[in-house]
Amino acid sequence: MTLKRGKVELLLAGAVADRGAGHLTLIDPDSQSPAQAGSMAQAAARGGTDAIMVGGSVGAAGLLLHETVREIKEKTDLPVILFPSSVAGLCENADAVFFMSLLNSRTPAYIVENQALGAPLVFRYGLEPIPMAYIIIEPGGTVGFVGDARLIPRRKPELAAAYALSAKYMGMRLVYLEAGSGADSPVPVGMVAMVKKLLGDVMLIVGGGIRSGETAAEMVAAGADLIVTGTGVEKSQDVASFVSGLTKSIRR
């Protein structure tokens, strides 16, 4: 029997079906206090975000992670999806986890070993696993370094497309193209378009360096189903500006 879609995955698919695209707010527990994270999530909820992702490449673990998730859950009704960089990024008070493999890593730990160590915890904690391929594009930022990624060159969309298609054939239901948090430039729109064409109904997430509603809308027009913003929201706390442009009418 294949893994059934859980509540959170269905909610994301519903946001895409209803509005044309969804928005995820990324909160890194290492960047502020748990109380501040709770207020950020509250502001994001008011702005219309669909879910909160919690994770980070360095330091998003232990009590800080647990309390950050607790504050977010207390302040909002939004689902919390863990975005772990290793097994240490799991905690039991979240709703779901992007159960992801960093396909273009050179290191087995990020492709399958943390996943094997984490799977029993996901089961025990009752987290909803959402199977996802994670593909890092230049410049890649901290996550590219920490994840030991062989970065996909920005001018080689066909390489991103090849990894994405392999994810689809392996049965993953989401593919995440990541330029790295705080990237100077987001994933190129041409790459997003080529990847989505091959993915069909596999959901495409795009994140890293998306700093305006216009850029978010361009990504959706090219084929992104879900947009992730972290840094932009941390700075402005203005999620509405990212969400307002994500409508069906801009889909090609």
Contacts with ligand 1GP by CB under 6 A lie at: 26, 178, 181-183, 207-210, 228-232
Please identify, using beta-carbon distances, which residue of 87 and 176 lies nearer to ligand 1GP: 176
Closest CB to ligand 1GP among 137 and 161? 137
Q: How far is the CB of 44 from ligand 1GP (least distance, A)?
A: 12
| Minimal distance, residue 107 CB to ligand 1GP, in Å | 18
**Shortest CB 87 distance to ligand 1GP, Å:** 18
Q: Among residues 15 and 100, whose Cβ is nearest to ligand 1GP?
A: 100
- Of 53, 31, 56, 30, nearest to 41 by C-alpha is 53
Asked whether the beta carbons of 110 and 148 are under 8 A apart, the reply is yes
Contacts of 156 (CB under 8 A, 6+ apart): none
Residue whose Cβ sits closest to ligand 1GP: 207
What is the secondary structure of 154-169 as a DSSP string?
A: TT-HHHHHHHHHHHHH
| Residue 166 or 231 with smaller CB distance to ligand 1GP | 231
- Shortest Å distance, C-beta 43 to ligand 1GP: 15
DSSP annotation string for the chain: -PPPP-HHHHHHHHHHHHHSSEEEEEE-GGGS-HHHHHHHHHHHHHHT-SEEEE--SSS--HHHHHHHHHHHHHH--S-EEE--SSGGG--TTSSEEEEEEETTBSSHIIIIIHHHHHHHHHHHHT-EEEEEEEEEBTT-HHHHHHTTB-PBPTT-HHHHHHHHHHHHHTT-SEEEEE--TT-SS-S-HHHHHHHHHHHTTSEEEEESS--SHHHHHHHHHHT-SEEEESHHHHHH---HHHHTT--GGG--
The residue among 34 and 207 lying less far from ligand 1GP, judged by its C-beta, is 207
Question: CB 80 → ligand 1GP: shortest distance, Å?
Answer: 16
4 vs 25, which CB is nearer to ligand 1GP? 25
Q: How far is the CB of 55 from ligand 1GP (least distance, A)?
A: 8
* Nearest CB to ligand 1GP, comparing residues 149 and 183: 183
The CB-of-28 to ligand 1GP minimum distance in angstroms stands at 8
